[in-house]
Amino acid sequence: MPIWNYLSWPHIKECAERGCVVIIPIGVIEQHGHHLPVDTDAFIVHEIAIEAARRDPEILVGPTVHFGYTPSNKNFPGSISLSASTWTALIRDVVRSVARHGFTRIALLNGHGGQVPLSRTTAAVLQDEDNISVVTLNWFGLVDKEMALLFAEEKLTGGRVGHAGAVETSMNLHLRPELSDQGVRVTNVCAAMPEFVSKVGGYVQTPREKLSASGVIGDPELASAEKGAELFELAVDRLCTFAREYRKSRVGE
């Protein structure tokens, strides 16, 4: 199972020559309610990537980028938020370094909803200014339809993942139950944006503490390890399929 951090440079060189797909998990350190660890987003994408590489030796798991961009959660104890410019520069330098060693198939596997627009912009800048092609993925995007069915009861109006709600709690219960119930599971199903903004497809950033004293958006009581296992399995399978198709594609040439 190829994991960048554990390989010597000749092995990494060999992976580049074989045309491995580099999957770089990107997350954030931010509050996840009273009950989940602050590294939840980084942890989930790391685990999905590692399991995919276990099944497909042509996937090389890049070093997980733990630091992220989370202005909405920055006031909760434990959250660490880079500025947008620092984060963009960080990801750009990481991807440039990977590309310098000869890898042409590179993907960012994001675990944090608040980073979706920035990671796309960073991918555009990498293409525009560095001539490097990188695919941006979100783990919840790999399983979007099934997640909506599996967690339909939660009735979230914004993003389907919520925040420390049923989805992320289920993933934690499946992957590391010992760290998944550190405090009371607070239920707070609310919209992340005022309706007059969302109904016209607009966007406004709201400090999380104004929406939710616990930091949670969603209903973690609807979580289960079984649902987490189902979603995790599906995400790993989709990532393996993606990597296979990416290798065969001309993207990056």
Strands 21-26 and 59-61: parallel
Radius of gyration of the chain (CA): 18
Q: What is the closest distance, in whole angstroms, from the C-beta atom of residue 44 to Zn ion in the complex?
A: 8
Contact present, 61 and 49 (Cβ < 8 Å): yes
Nearer to Zn ion, 59 or 216 (CB): 216
Q: What is the closest distance, in whole angstroms, from the C-beta atom of residue 114 to Zn ion in the complex?
A: 9
Give the span between the Cα atoms of 214 and 212, in whole angstroms: 5
At 232 the three-state DSSP class reads helix
- In 10 A of CB 245, how many CB atoms? 11
Nearer to Zn ion, 133 or 224 (CB): 224
Nearer to Zn ion, 104 or 172 (CB): 172
Q: What is the closest distance, in whole angstroms, from the C-beta atom of residue 118 to Zn ion in the complex?
A: 15
Query: What sign has the CA pseudo-torsion 244, 108, 217, 35?
Result: positive
Contact stretch for Zn ion (CB under 5 A) within 32-40, 49-57, 129-137, 139-147: 32-40
Q: What is the closest distance, in whole angstroms, from the C-beta atom of residue 163 to Zn ion in the complex?
A: 6
Site size for Zn ion, by CB under 5 A? Answer: 2
Query: What sign has the CA pseudo-torsion 168, 151, 195, 202?
Result: positive
Cα 225 → chain centroid: 19
Nearer to Zn ion, 92 or 174 (CB): 174
Q: What is the closest distance, in whole angstroms, from the C-beta atom of residue 158 to Zn ion in the complex?
A: 13
Indicate the burial class of 197 (C-beta count within 10 angstroms; 0-12, 13-18, 19 or more).
middle
Q: What is the closest distance, in whole angstroms, from the C-beta atom of residue 168 to Zn ion in the complex?
A: 5
The H-assigned helical ranges of 110-251 are: 116-130, 139-142, 144-150, 166-175, 195-198, 208-211, 225-248
Nearer to Zn ion, 41 or 154 (CB): 41
Q: What is the closest distance, in whole angstroms, from the C-beta atom of residue 104 to Zn ion in the complex?
A: 31
Q: Give residue number: closest CB to Zn ion.
A: 41
Nearer to Zn ion, 40 or 138 (CB): 40
Q: What residue type is 107 in one-letter code? A: A
Nearer to Zn ion, 41 or 56 (CB): 41
Query: Residues 199 to 228: which contact Zn ion by CB under 5 A?
Result: none
Query: Residues 33 to 92: which contact Zn ion by CB under 5 A?
Result: 40-41
Tell me which residues touch Zn ion (CB under 5 A): 40-41
